[in-house]
Structure 1
Amino acid sequence: MQTPEEGELCFPKLYNLSCRKTTRPPSTSMLIYITLSSISLLTVTLNMLVIISISHFRKLHSPTNFLLLSLAVSDCMVGFLISFQIILIDGCWYLGDLMCAMYLVLDYVIASTSIGTMVLISVDRYVAICYPFFYFSKVTAERTKMCILLCWMCFILYQTLLLKENLQNPGRFKTCYGECVVFLNYFEGFLDLFFSFIGPITVIIVLYSRVFVVAVSQARSMRSQVAAVTLHGSVRFKAKKSEMKAAMILGVVVVVFLLCTCPYFCLTLTTQDTGVSASSVAFLLFDVNSTLNPLIYVLFYPWFRKSVKLILSLRILRPDSCNANIM
């Protein structure tokens, strides 16, 4: 029978080497468990609907939607990774040092690719709004796929090299058994902060500031010309309005992303401790962003609502359903 002190240890048999469990009231632990489980399930489910929608329906195979597909893939993986945070509810890691290192490296990769995809979305909207005459000739589906592939490959390589010591020597930086941490020295921490936050966020803010200024200018121009448009001009007017609407919707996605991720990176920027706890509140807020993105699509994209109805009613199993006009 365990003594009360042994019951507070992650590994009671390793009395002098084990980490201590995080002590919480049972009701609080249950609330955290239910919250994390609900977020994980909702994140995976909603993002799987986005992935199926864009992958299945050919009408949705556009450069912008391929970027949303990439974002949905990373968000869906975040939902799966939240299940590992559930394991850490009591502050103990029971899956071994190698699994810990792989989990944390994968988490860094997914976070980086999400930010990289946000940069690509900002570039896409910048070109569409600021250089509309070049957009359809320069931004093609194939080029977008190539950019997405390069984004994933570069961040996988970058994070693997950055965290190679954590992969080569799993558990090297833990202070006790049951701890799951990733360690970066000062230079590595600054490098990761710059390439994963400061640089991308600066690019996103600069590009979307330009998009906002141009969009407002174009909206005023269209209002002054709407009464005098010809049939040909009406088509151009609708096309331009559609691009501006897409820019505004994706702008909401970017703003929500910044609100959810900035607390985590600001905490990382101001703390003197380079160890990153997987159970921090700021980290959870970072993850919640992956749940919010599909909800934004539900609110603003009619095509997503239509595709969800077709998926849930199993009508996508019908022959030639991929050619359905859901726009």
Structure 2
Amino acid sequence: MPLQFIWLIESCWFFGTTICVFFNFMSFYLGCASVHNVALIAVDRYLALSNPFFYSKKITVNLIIFVVFLNWMFSLGYNVALLYCNGFFTHALTLCPSECLIMVNEIWSFVDLVVVFVLPCSIMLVLYLKVFAIAKRHANAITRVANSNPDANKSDVPKRSERKAAKVLGILVSVFLLSLVPAHICSFMVESIQRQIFNDVLKYMTTLFYLNSLFNPIIYALFYPWFQKSMTIIVRCRICSPESSLMQVK
């Protein structure tokens, strides 16, 4: 991100060819891994809510580490293949010193659209809709129990929980779409826009794509108290203590 922002401000690449190669490779690699991590969070939440007994028994720390490792390895292999097939490793050193753009052909642009946008976005939309349906069903069940018991405290907690779940999920998906859609639309407009204008627009749209990885933790911090407590434990280095796994954050 520092290199990206400097590039936007100066409108010219000042860091040389080697840094450009590293910058482009890490941009593709980290961007893909980040988007898939967000999709995996949706899978994790759906499993936790839809089948809590299965989740508590089968979804272990070792399994999570293995899945995250596979995600990063898949992202690495996919982006090496994408860049190699677009001549990145053979022609990167011949780039103009003042430019740092890698052009992807139409076929790979479509493949990248499916792998980095359509697939994770579909997973998020479907599973978060299911998560909201489960939360709504739980809220209705709590309301029925409260109404059937005249001595129960009839509060609006279920309704507030339902509204909060809808708000958080709506914001998450909306930010995800607003961050990724412009960059992918721009990648298909290379032939219809003047080159310099296209390069400038692509830089801004790519920056928005990168910022999605910044927006998500902020959203979680704003709406989830347990996330705030977890971040406090990490920032204060209390996570390094032996009893950190026993700390209550909920």
The equivalent of 2:110 in structure 1 is 190
Provide the secondary structure at the position in 1 that maps to 2:57. Answer: helix
Check conservation: 2:39, 2:120, Cα contact below 8 A: yes
Structure-2 change in CA distance of 1:315 and 1:104 (3 Å): closer
Displacement of 1:156: 0.7
1:310 and 1:141, CA in 2 relative to 1: closer, same or farther beyond 3 A?
closer
Q: Give 1:1-327 correspondences, 5 Å limit.
A: 82-88=1-7, 89-164=9-84, 165-172=87-94, 174=95, 176-226=96-146, 249=168, 252-272=171-191, 277=199, 280-309=203-232, 314=236, 316=238, 322=244, 323-327=246-250
Is the contact between residue 298 and residue 305 of structure 1 (CA under 8 Å) also seen in structure 2? Answer: yes
TM-score by length of 2: 0.76
Structure 2 equivalent of residue 28 of structure 1 = none
Q: Distance in 2 between matches of 1:154 and 1:318?
A: 30
Q: Structure 1 residues 310, 116: CA separation in 2 closer, same or farther (over 3 Å shift)? A: closer
Greater share of helix: 2
Question: What is the CA distance between 1:228 and its match in structure 2?
Answer: 6.3
1:261 Cα deviation after fit: 1.9
- The amino acid across from 1:170 in the alignment is A
Letter in 1 for 2:211: V
CA–CA separation in structure 1 for the residues paired with 2:73 and 2:107? 23
Partner Cα distance (1:299, 1:105) in 2: 32
User: Equivalents in 2 of 1:218, 1:206: separation in Å?
Assistant: 19
Deviations 1:268-297 (A, max 9, x none): 244437998486222222232233223223
**Identity across matched positions, percent:** 31
Question: What is the number of residues matched between the two proteins?
Answer: 233
Give per-residue Cα distances to partners, 1:294-318, cap 9 Å, x unaligned: 3223322223433555566x57399
**Which string of whole-angstrom CA distances, capped at 9 and with x for unpartnered residues, describes residues 110-163 of structure 1?**
110111112211111222223334222232221111111000011011101210
Q: 1:288 to 1:135 in 2, by over 3 A?
A: same
**Structure 1 runs of 4+ off > 6 angstroms?**
244-248, 273-276
CA distance in 2, matches of 1:222, 1:90: 57
- Structure 2 unaligned spans of 5+: 150-160
Cα distance change, pair 96–293 in 1 and its aligned pair in 2 (3 A)? same
Decide whether the 8 Å contact of 1:101 with 1:182 is kept in 2. Answer: no
Residues 318/286 of structure 1: CA separation in 2 closer, same or farther (3 Å cut): closer
Amino acid at match of 1:188: W
Q: Is the alpha carbon distance of 1:153 and 1:247 closer, same or farther for their aligned partners in structure 2, counting shifts above 3 Å?
A: farther
Query: Residues 102, 148 of structure 1: CA spacing in aligned structure 2 closer, same or farther, 3 A cutoff?
Result: same
Q: C-alpha separation between the residues in 2 aligned to 1:134 and 1:187?
A: 41
Provide the C-alpha distance between the structure 2 equivalents of 1:287 and 1:308, rounded to a whole number of angstroms. 21
- Cα distance per residue 1:199-244 (max 9 Å; x no partner): 2212221222222223322321232124669xxxxxxxxxxxx9x9
Would you say the 8 A contact 2:132–2:165 is kept in 1?
Answer: no
Distance 1:137 1:282, change over 3 A: same
Structure 1: how far apart are the matches of 2:166 and 2:204? 31
Is the partner of 1:170 in helix, strand or coil? Answer: helix
Q: Distance in 1 between matches of 2:74 and 2:57?
A: 26
Residue 321 of structure 1 deviates from its aligned partner by 6.1
- 1:293 alignment partner AA: N
- Structure 1: any 5+ residue segments left out of the alignment? 1-81, 230-241
